[in-house]
């Protein structure tokens, strides 16, 4: 009876804030919800891994290596770095033929709550930061958030939330096919990426390992 009540509570919570369950596999769960005044859905993907907080953050902050694990990411560079935790980045996302690849410019900043140890990385689009390149379709708007929460037993819970207007002429029905696939595959790949030795042993001076 308790299990039924817990399940009912979780389902109610998901739908109370608009999130709709989409799929789960390999320790990853994906949700979507509609966004007011947008034809494109917002996504949320979650997972939990056994790893140090610094390990996960080291992967997320290694911009040049994003194409190794971020699904369909063909290129990633830092355009302007304000500090180790604040920068403007440029990413190229491969689009299916005959569509142009998407170019996104975004400002991102990382903060850690000193009391809870929770790390939040938020990014917002900077559409006009660079002149447009005719080779690519400039992403009209993008916003994203990573939330990394330390858990007991040496685990961390990872949540990725985002919404993108890919720009150009692309039917929302087609774009929304990728709104689950890309972040879902990305999170699955992240679970593998954190096992690489350079991240396992990473030390970041701006991250405090919260002991629970």
207 in any annotated domain: no
Q: Where are the alpha helices (DSSP H) in 17-76?
A: 53-61
pLDDT of residue 210: 83
pLDDT of residue 26: 96
208 in any annotated domain: no
210 in any annotated domain: no
Burial 52-61 (b: 16+ CB within 10 A, else e): bbbbbbbbbb
Please provide the average confidence, as pLDDT, over all residues in the chain: 90
How many domains does one find in the chain?
A: 1
Indicate the pLDDT class of residue 38, thresholds 50, 70 and 90: confident
Q: What is the CATH number of the domain that holds 25?
A: 3.30.530.20
Weakest mean pLDDT among 1-15, 29-43, 153-167:
1-15
Share of the chain above pLDDT 90, in %: 77
Helices (H) and strands (E) in the chain, counts: 4, 10
Q: Calculate Rg over the CA atoms of the chain.
A: 18
16 in any annotated domain: no
8 in any annotated domain: no
Share of the chain above pLDDT 70, in %: 90
List the domain range (segments joined by +) for residue 29.
21-200
Work out the widest C-alpha separation in the chain, in whole angstroms: 60
Structure tokens at 67: 């194409």
pLDDT of residue 48: 98
205 in any annotated domain: no
Residue with the larger pLDDT of the pair 12 and 25: 25
121 in any annotated domain: yes
25 in any annotated domain: yes
pLDDT in tens, 146-203: 999 999 999 999 999 999 888 776 766 677 678 899 999 999 999 999 999 999 999 9
The DSSP bridge pattern shows strands 102-112 and 137-138 to be parallel
């Amino acid at each position: 009876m308790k299990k039924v009540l817990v399940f009912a509570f979780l389902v109610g919570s998901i739908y109370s804030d608009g999130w709709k369950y989409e799929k789960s596999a390999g320790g990853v769960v994906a949700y979507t919800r509609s966004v007011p005044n947008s034809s494109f859905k917002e996504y949320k993907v979650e997972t939990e891994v056994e790893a140090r907080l610094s390990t996960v953050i080291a992967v997320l902050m290694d911009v040049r290596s994003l194409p190794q694990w971020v699904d369909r990411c063909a290129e990633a560079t830092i355009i302007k770095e304000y500090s180790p935790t604040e920068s403007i980045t440029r990413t190229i996302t491969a689009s299916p033929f005959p569509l142009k690849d998407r170019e996104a410019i975004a400002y991102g900043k990382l903060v850690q709550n000193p009391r809870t140890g929770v790390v939040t990385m938020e990014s917002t689009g900077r559409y006009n930061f660079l002149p447009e390149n005719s080779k690519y379709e400039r992403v009209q708007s993008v916003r994203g958030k990573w939330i990394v929460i330390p858990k007991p037993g040496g685990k961390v819970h990872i949540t990725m939330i985002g919404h993108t207007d890919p720009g150009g002429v692309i039917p929302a029905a087609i774009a929304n096919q990728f709104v689950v696939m890309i972040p879902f595959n990305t999170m699955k790949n992240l679970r593998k990426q954190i096992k690489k030795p350079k991240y396992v042993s990473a030390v970041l001076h701006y991250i405090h390992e919260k002991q629970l």
